[in-house]
Amino acid sequence: MRSAAAISEHLDTRTAAIEVAALLEKAMDGPTDLVLVFASFHHRESFEDAIADIQTTLAPKTIVGVTAESVVGCDLELEGVAGLSAIAMHLPGVTVTPWTTTPKKPLPISRPEEIPAWIGLQDDTKAVLFFADPFSTPITRLLPALTSCRGEGNPLPIIGGMASGASQATFNRLIIGGEGQRSGGIGLTLSGPLQVDCIASQGCRPVGSHYRVTKVDRNVILELGGKPALEVLQQLAKEASPRDRKLIEGGLLLGSVIDEHKSHFGRGDFLIRSILGLDRKRNGIAAGEFYRLGKTVQFHVRDAQTAVEDLQLLLDAQQLSEIPFGGLLVTCNGRGRSLFQEEDHDLTIIRERMGEVPIAGFFAAGEIGPIGNTSFLHGHTACLTLFRREELPHGM
C-alpha cells in the first residue's frame, strides 16, 4: 500500500487541478484506487471540472471532493487563500464502497436495519469516511446511527468532517464518482486489510469545576449545581487567574463529559461546544448543544499550549506502531493562525513526530472522529487519521 499527496496554490482551478494531478501521477507511478480532493472556496464554481481533470490523469477507481474554507496538504496549511489539496492511494485488497445521503434520499436513520446494505458494510469493514454539508445534514442523528449499524458492542469508526466556507445552504460542493451535490453527505466505506487509526486533539483546557446541569430549556442551561448558570460563569471569571481571565475574554467554551462513569475528568474527557450567548433574563447560558438534566459539564478555554501538548502526546503514542503510508487531517477553522499565531503549526508538529507521511485535508465546520468507542462531531479539534496496512496476528 502506498499514497502520495500534492497541493497547489494556483488561483485558476483547472491549472491547480492539472498541477496536482501531474504531481500525484509522478509520485504514484502506478495504479491508483482512491483519491480525496479538497478545494478552497475559490475553486467552488469549477470544482467538478477539477475533479474530472484529476480523474482523467490518474484514473482512480473512486474519487471524492469537498470544498472548504481552507485546505491543508504536504507541509502547508493554506489559510484564507486559494488551495487545492489531494491524496491518492493504492489499496490492494481493500474494498472502497461509495455512498450518498441527500435530503431527497436520506440515509434511513429510522430504519437502522437498512443502513448496513446502504453503506456497503462488510464483515471486515474498518471505518467510514464521511463528509457532509452542515446546512442540510442531521449530523447529530446520523452519526449514532452509523456508529451503531454493526450492532451493540461493535461500534463502527466514522471519520471526516463538515464542508466549510459557505455562508448559506447549497453553496458547498461535494463530489463523489464524478457526480456533484450541494447538500447532504458523501461516504466511503473501507473494508479489507487496512488499519485506520484516528486521533482527536482538542485545543481546549478545562477551567474551574465541573457541574451537573440541574435546570435546562433546550440548549439554554439555566442552572448548574443548583445555582443560576450565569452566576456560576461570573464567579468563574472572578476567581480565574490573570492568564485564564484573558483566555476567557477571548471566548469561553463548554465541555460535556463523554463517559459519565469515570470518577475523574480531565483533558480529552469532554465534547467541546461553543457558547452562543447569554440569556440575562433567566440567568442562563445558550450553548451549541441540547443538554439533558444531570449531564456533567465544565467550562473550557481555547489554549494554544494545551493544543500543542495534546497533539504531541497523541502522536507519541502513534510512533509505537508501524509507519503509516498516508494521512487525512481535518482540523477546526478556529485553529491555525488564529490559535497558534503562526502558519502550518499542526502540520509542523505532525512532521516532527511522524516524518514525511503524505497528508491532505481541510479546515472544517466540524470535525468527525471517534473518542473511545463512539464517533462525535467535534469543535476546536484536529482529527488526524493515519492509514496503515493491517497488521496480521503473530504466526500468520
- Spatial separation of the C-alpha atoms in residues 88 and 184, rounded to whole Å: 24
Write out pLDDT tens, residues 179-212. 999 999 999 999 999 999 999 998 888 999 999 9
Give the integer Cα–Cα distance in Å for 128 and 12.
32
CA gap 331, 369 in Å, rounded: 11
Average pLDDT, the chain: 94
Q: At 214, is the pLDDT very low, low, confident or very high (cuts 50, 70, 90)?
A: very high
Q: How far does the chain reach from its first CA to its final CA, in angstroms?
A: 19
- Which of 266, 301, 336 terminates a domain? The answer is 301
How many CB atoms are closer than 10 A to CB 326? 24
Residues facing residue 89 across a β-bridge: 3, 34
% of the chain with per-residue pLDDT over 90: 83
Same domain membership, residue 251 and residue 366 = no
For CA atoms 234, 236, 239, 243, give the dihedral sign.
negative
Does 194 share its domain with 120?
Answer: yes
In a shared domain, residues 125 and 268: no
Residue 264 in this model has a pLDDT that exceeds 70: yes
pLDDT band for position 393 (50/70/90)? low
Q: Looking at the domain assignment, is residue 137 inside a domain?
A: yes
Domain end, chosen from 275, 301, 327, is at: 301
What are the φ and ψ backbone dihedral angles of 137, each rounded to 5 degrees?
A: -115, 120
280/319 same-domain check: no
Q: Which residues pair with 381 in a beta bridge?
A: 202
Task: Kindly state whether residue 230 falls inside one of the protein's structural domains.
Answer: yes
Residues 78 and 106 in one domain: yes
Helices (H), the chain: 13-28, 47-58, 115-119, 139-147, 229-239, 242-249, 304-318, 337-340, 345-354
**Residue 392: how many other CB atoms lie within 10 Å:** 8
Q: Is residue 395 part of a domain?
A: no
Q: Print burial letters for 94-130: b (CB count within 10 Å at least 16), e (below 16).
A: bbbbbbbbbeeebbeeeeeeebbebbbbeeebbbbbb
Contact between 133 and 172 under an 8 Å Cβ cutoff? The reply is: yes
Instruction: Output the CA torsion sign for 243, 245, 248, 254.
Output: positive
Query: Same domain for 68 and 161?
Result: yes
Q: Residue 241 is part of which domain span?
A: 204-301
Domain ends where: 301, 318, 345? 301
Q: Are residues 163 and 231 in the same domain?
A: no
Neighbour-count burial of 156, counting CB atoms closer than 10 A to its CB (0-12 exposed, 13-18 middle, 19+ buried): buried
Structural domain contains residue 89:
yes
Judgement on whether residues 37 and 154 belong to the same structural domain of the protein: yes
Is 394 a member of any domain? no
Can you give the pLDDT at residue 249? 86
Whether residues 143 and 49 share a domain: the answer is: yes
374 or 55, greater pLDDT: 55
**pLDDT of 125:** 98
Q: What is the pLDDT of residues 140-150, one digit of tens each?
A: 999 999 999 99
In a domain, 396, yes or no: no
Q: What is the pLDDT of residue 394?
A: 53
Distance CA 211, CA 215 (A): 12
Residue 219 has a CB neighbour count (10 Å cut-off) of 15
Q: How far is it, in rounded angstroms, from Cα 387 to Cα 127? A: 11
**Burial code of 275-284, b = ≥16 C-beta within 10 A, e = fewer?**
beebbeebbb
Query: Is the pLDDT assigned to residue 336 strictly greater than 90?
Result: no
Say what the pLDDT of residue 269 is: 85
Would you state the cell numbers that stand for residue 280, as one nine-digit string? 440575562
Mean pLDDT of 223-239: 95
Q: Is 292 left (phi over 0), alpha (psi -120 to 50) or beta?
A: beta
Q: Is residue 63 situated within a structural domain?
A: yes
In-domain check, residue 282: yes
Dump the DSSP string for 355-380. Answer: -S--EEEEEESSEEEEETTEEEEESS
Claim to verify: residue 232 and residue 246 sit in the same structural domain: yes
For residues 211 and 225, is the Cβ–Cβ distance under 8 A? yes
Residues 234, 151 share a domain = no
The count of structural domains within the chain is: 2
**Does the pLDDT of residue 300 top 60, yes or no?**
yes
Q: What is the C-alpha separation between 46 and 10, in angstroms, rounded?
A: 13
Are 180 and 261 in a shared domain? no
